[in-house]
Amino acid sequence: MTNLQERGHLLTEQVNPNSLNLDQLSSLELVELFNNEDQKAIAAIAAAKIQLAAAIQCTADRLHEGGRLFYIGAGTSGRLGVLDAAECPPTFCTPPELVQGIIAGGAGALLRSSEDLEDRAEDGESAIAQRQITQLDVVVGITAGGTTPYVHGALNAARQRGALTIFMACVPAEQVDFDADIDIRLLTGPEILAGSTRLKAGTVTKLALNILSTGVMVKLGKVYGNRMVDVAVTNQKLRDRALRILQDLTGLSREAAGFLLERSGKSVKLALLMHWTDLEKEAGEQLLAAHQGNLRVAVDSYKQHQPGA
């Protein structure tokens, strides 16, 4: 059993031999040191690719069945989870409840440090109960040092409810062992500023969450090729992106793309389907719904059932 009180042996708490003279470096030397150390985040992702791939597939499978994805953490780890969750609705037009971020201390902890709350395992358990986690859901516990009681409490409670549990930490299993369905270790080594896990550990966590959420959305049919065809058209920048996607994939003029976008109710995915099948909005919506919103599958199915196909 890991002693959560004594943490000096943890990889994330150790002293980095490459930065012993940190306070004596020039500004350029500081940048060069950070740049060299940050390369380890890329290598850490490569070393965890099998586990990340499993997390993508298993999460997508659960969400296909009506489940939800939760990130839970404290401090920097919690903030990164909330950030990734918050960016899913505008990027993939997902309902806010599909991907949720939970941070120790609640919304206030996003702006003001509340790291003292990470020591309360019972708060993590309560967070799981409050959201009525079920066997369809996925809970990703994020803890750079691996020892956060709040995260341990949440994952243990989630496992008891039958949820898929994913443990994401920046220390090796032999330092902190934890029983989760998928164990992702992102090993970037000691920080330039000893113990400051908002640095490399934060960077590699953001990379991993980018990969996880985007990969899941690809599996859920939220992407066509490499285009975000479920983008929420909520401002001028996103409207411009939507129009460029339509122009690029259909060859239409900007004016015609704009007319098509309006006919579809500002849904890029539906607009593309309408253009490629000549279906009207309601029929297009029904076709997409029949294929779980997957544009490529819906269009291919339509064409296969046409006379002469």
| Catalytic residue set | 87, 118
Extended strands (E) in the chain: 69-73, 99-103, 138-143, 164-169, 182-185
Cβ–Cβ under 8 Å, residues 279 and 298: no
Cβ–Cβ under 8 Å, residues 141 and 149: no
Burial of 167 (0-12, 13-18, 19+ CB in 10 A): buried
Q: Beta partners for 183?
A: 167
Residue 84 vs residues 33, 201, 270, 298: alpha-carbon distances, Å: 27, 16, 26, 29
The span from the first CA to the last CA of the chain, in angstroms, equals 63
Cβ–Cβ under 8 Å, residues 147 and 10: yes
